Amino acid sequence: MADEAKAGHLPNLRGTAAPADPYRLPRQRRGQTPQMHGRYPDYDVLDEIAEWDELTRGVVLGRLDDVPPRRFFTEPEWNALTAFCDVVLAQDSDPRIPVLAYIDEKLHVGRLDGFQYADMPDDRDTWRLVAQGLDEAAQAAGAASYESAPCEVRARIAGEFSDGKPRGDVWDELNVARAFAVVMRSVLAAFYSHPWAWNEIGFGGPAYPRGYARLGIDLGEAWEGGEALDVDPVSDVKDRGLE
Amino acid sequence: MRAVLKGSLRPKDNDSAYLLDVHRRGVPGRERMCRYQDSDEVDMLIVGCGAGGSVLAQRLARAGWRVVVLERGPFWDPDSDWVSDEEGSSHLYWNDKRIVGGSDPVAMGKNNSGHGVGGSMVHYAGYAPRFHPSDFDVKARDGVGADWPIGYWDLKPHFERVERELPVAGQDWPWGDPHRYPHSPHPIGGAAERAWAGARAHGIEMRVGPVAITNGVFGNRPHCIYRGFCLQGCKVNAKASPLVTHVPDAIEHGVEIRADAMAVRIEVDDAGRCTGVTYLRAGRERFQRAGAVAVCGYSIESPRLLLNSTSSGFPAGVGNNADQVGRYLMVQGAPQIAGRFPELLRMYKAPPPEVSSEHFYETDQARGFARGFSIQTVSPLPIGWAEHVLADGHRGAALREYMRDYNHWSVLGALCELLPQSENRVTLAGETDQFDMPIARFDYSQCDNDRANIAYAKQTMHDIWEAAGAQDVLSIDRYAHLVGGCRMGTNADASVIDQDHRVWGVPNLFVCDGSVMPTQGSANPALTIMALASRLGERLTAKRVTPQPGHRANAPLGARA
Ligand SMILES: Cc1cc2nc3c(=O)[nH]c(=O)nc-3n(C[C@H](O)[C@H](O)[C@H](O)COP(=O)(O)OP(=O)(O)OC[C@H]3O[C@@H](n4cnc5c(N)ncnc54)[C@H](O)[C@@H]3O)c2cc1C
Ligand code: SF4
């Protein structure tokens, strides 16, 4: 392998150390990112909306302008799952992408993914059971609910859930590892379909009808966001002693 | 000479690209489309307007057959129905519920089948390789899988014909039966450049393509604009799908495509002949009469429809008296390994299908398993990349970190030939759907050869990234490309259809889609599915196979609206 130190911010290369602190990154100067940090601080994909076809523009801007109201989840379910989404997406400060609102809408109108594991209930029931399971696990740890549990407890429960570990009345109705997969499929789709997340990762967003003209290593279109640091951000982290 | 003419050869007997409009993407001429009455006995009623069904319809219509296609999904108009957005494209998939089981269940949804005119090719990636000659007799060669009742050379003229119709762009192809492509290779993006260099350093040849994407203007289909949303439906009409490659010509030659029509039962009379299809449209049950029926509904829906079509002669579903319908369903193992580089690669630019290798396609005893795999670039968009990162075990801050690093990664995917097994099967579940039709259950379990193949392919991709100097790698296990379920064979006890796609025991019922394949090779299947349909079309129109010996009604039916 090449010089590993150069990619020192990448979790696989950090051994047992915790992930690098995202607040080390530059603050977003243009547009928004979730938590306002990112690698492309001067890039706002929304500067390009005039170049998008009308239909796509409507769909993408709809995510910003029409955040759906809560209709599917009950209030306790909503509270537990909001806290859970914050943990698995590391959304620990504002601005946050309201992922659960998009998921609520999908489940409310029954826009499901076209398959169900033989050892699992309908996705809509899976979501409700997960919400109950999170509260149950938090109560077993002495908290009133998942939402009100201390930060470390919430993180531990989410971690155990992702490892398929929890047992208990509710969890036993589910194949826990699969339930995590079902839930995360929607969580990730909601988060990474949001233009703020595209700003954070430097994704070009919708590209019709304009398309791309400059393919190739280190080539960008004039409007594509450059990384804030013209050195590899990875080694920069190290050079600036931020690890 | 062929090299000089690259890109300028017009396909024979298919004007689709020229019938399209220059300024609009939707298929023109729908207002003038032929319409048949339910009571008209059409010559061929096709269920499903995807890879198999569209090509068959176009071929038959060119020979003057009266054809109706029932399609469950909408008649897409790329201008008004499709967006340049990942999550906003979920309406392209077959989203009705299916139950998946077995010890290695296969996720469906976006990954496994489409609906609407054009079928799954509307959101397929666009790779269009041929099967290898060895794919047709793996049992004789390696003692695994099954032998096909037909061979590569039966399909070769149809591979060439379909490659010109799509058209396919790529470098001269050295593997299998070496051949050239009608369009030149596309330029490649940064992510593919890295993959190419890594493969070279590891001693593996790669080639650009083969992709069914225009490189240059083709009829009224524009050049690709490299915007990278091929798996969300091509709004440009540069990527081939039957919607632009066969449907326009089919309509021009009198085919009626009846969209939003869900076939629920194939009707078979007491004499064992199929009389037509019962379908639901706008909430009403209807019955279309037909002299012959071809089922082209994809590897899950075709077996489901046959199983649901019970009659006195076929109490367990039409064609299922030997309990073969739905069996030997296959998926390719499709693990992906991503490599990280210091430079900005921006893999969202250019079509995800760029370069590929069939270096490992054939059996090599030294590897310790039968058959092989191919390697291709896959370049996921952000949601696909997030699923990849999650599968490697990252959550929370770690997941976000890898996501922010998106532009530094390049992703390779393998397609591993997994073996057909009789217990990997579609059956009917107890639950019914909104049409009151039992939903499909699909059980899938791998065998030892499958696991060894996937493990070897993953190691190979790791080695490529190491040779390329990648700083980190991430991996994900997944599947792609369902085929089989109504396999063709020489024996009614061990297959569902004969070599002319005719369901054993029903002279005028055919199956013509990916479900007919006895083995799957490690090539993406769409080109081969189209070539099979092209061959069947040729045999039917040349009367080498007749649905109803001695009978072809010629009375004029159908009217242009
Ligand atoms: C994400 C993705 C990427 C892919 N990438 C590639 C690739 O790069 N290269 C490649 O070669 N292949 C690829 N494939 C696979 C390829 O698209 C399919 O194998 C191929 O389209 C299958 O052809 P088919 O004729 O069997 O079915 P389809 O093309 O799926 O057509 C079946 C049609 O039948 C309709 N139908 C089904 N049941 C009924 C019913 N009861 N009544 C009415 N209509 C019905 C469906 O709505 C559908 O339109 C990909 C597939 C997917 C999903
Ligand atoms: S990259 Fe080319 S083929 Fe793919 S969707 Fe864009 S224009 Fe169509």
Position B476 confidence tier, pLDDT thresholds 50, 70, 90: very high
pLDDT tens per residue across span B72-102: 999 999 999 999 999 999 999 999 999 999 9
CB contact under 8 A, A213 and B400: no
- Distance between Cα B235 and ligand 2 center (Å): 8
Domain boundaries, chain B: 38-78+98-560
> Which among B68, B124, B213, B280 is the best mutation to test ligand 1's pocket, defined by most ligand atoms within 8 Å of the CB?
B124
Token output for B392:
């490697």
pLDDT beyond 90 at B109: no
Percent of chain A, pLDDT > 70?
Answer: 91
Token output for A187:
């969580």
> Which among B89, B166, B239, B377 is the best mutation to test ligand 2's pocket, defined by most ligand atoms within 8 Å of the CB?
B239
Percent of chain A, pLDDT > 90?
Answer: 67
The per-residue pLDDT of chain A, averaged, comes to 90
CA dihedral A154, A157, A158, A164 (to 10 degrees): 180
A169 CA: distance to closest CA in chain B (Å): 24
Chain B CB contacts of A215 under 8 Å are 187-190, 226, 349-350
What span, in angstroms and rounded, lies between the C-alpha atoms of A72 and A105?
Answer: 7
Query: Which residues of chain B from 361 to 400 reach within 8 Å of chain A, CB to CB?
Result: 381-383, 385-387, 390, 392, 394-400
Q: pLDDT value at position A236?
A: 58
| C-alpha distances in Å from residue B446, one per residue of B109, B370, B413, B479 | 20, 14, 19, 11
- Distance between Cα B318 and ligand 1 center (Å): 22
Token output for B132:
């290898």
- Ligand 1 atom closest to the Cα of residue B54 is 25
Q: pLDDT value at position A6?
A: 65
ipTM: 0.93
Q: pLDDT value at position B7?
A: 63
* A212 closest CA partner among A49, A51, A50: A51
pLDDT beyond 50 at B552: no
Classified as helix, coil or strand, A205 is: coil
**Which of A99-108, A169-178, B550-559 reaches the highest mean pLDDT?**
A99-108
Q: Cβ(B474)–Cβ(B338) under 8 Å? A: yes
- Distance between Cα B52 and ligand 1 center (Å): 8
State CA A177 to chain mean position distance: 19
Angle between the N-to-C axes of helices A75-88 and A151-162, in degrees from 0 to 180, rounded to the nearest 10: 80
Say if residue A68 is preceded by a cis peptide, omega within 30 of 0.
no
Query: The domain B38-78+98-560: what is its CATH number?
Result: 3.50.50.60
pLDDT tens per residue across span B377-392: 999 999 999 999 999 9
Q: pLDDT value at position B401?
A: 94
Q: pLDDT value at position A1?
A: 30
CB contact under 8 A, A197 and B80: no
pLDDT tens per residue across span B156-203: 999 999 999 999 999 999 999 999 999 999 999 999 999 999 999 999
| HEC secondary structure over A74-128 | CHHHHHHHHHHHHHHCCCCCCCCCCHHHHHHHHHHHCCCCCCEECCCCCHHHHHH
The structure's pTM equals 0.95
Percent of chain B, pLDDT > 70?
Answer: 96
Q: pLDDT value at position A152?
A: 95
The residues, any chain, with a CB within 8 Å of residue A111's CB and separated by 6 or more, are B90, B95
Residue nearest to atom 8 of ligand 2 (CA): B234
Q: Is B209 exposed, middle or buried (0-12, 13-18, 19+ CB in 10 A)?
A: buried
The H-or-E segment that residue A201 falls in is: helix A195-201
pLDDT beyond 90 at B540: yes
Of A1, A11, A89, the CB nearest to B402: A11
Using DSSP bridges, classify how beta strands B256-258 and B67-70 pair: parallel, antiparallel or unpaired.
Answer: parallel
Say if residue B185 is preceded by a cis peptide, omega within 30 of 0.
no
What span, in angstroms and rounded, lies between the C-alpha atoms of B316 and B306?
Answer: 9
Q: pLDDT value at position B6?
A: 64
Determine which of A25, A116, A117 to mutate to test the interface with B (most B C-beta atoms within 10 Å). A116
- Distance between Cα B61 and ligand 2 center (Å): 29
Say if residue B167 is preceded by a cis peptide, omega within 30 of 0.
yes
Q: Cβ(B131)–Cβ(B528) under 8 Å? A: yes
What span, in angstroms and rounded, lies between the C-alpha atoms of B42 and A37?
Answer: 63
CB contact under 8 A, B396 and A192: no
pLDDT tens per residue across span B339-365: 999 999 999 999 999 999 999 999 999
Decide if A20 touches B, using CB distance below 8 A: yes
Backbone angles phi, psi at A176, to 5 degrees: -65, -40
Q: pLDDT value at position A14?
A: 86
Query: Which residues of chain A from 58 to 77 reach within 8 Å of chain B, CB to CB?
Result: 59-60
- Distance between Cα B336 and ligand 2 center (Å): 22
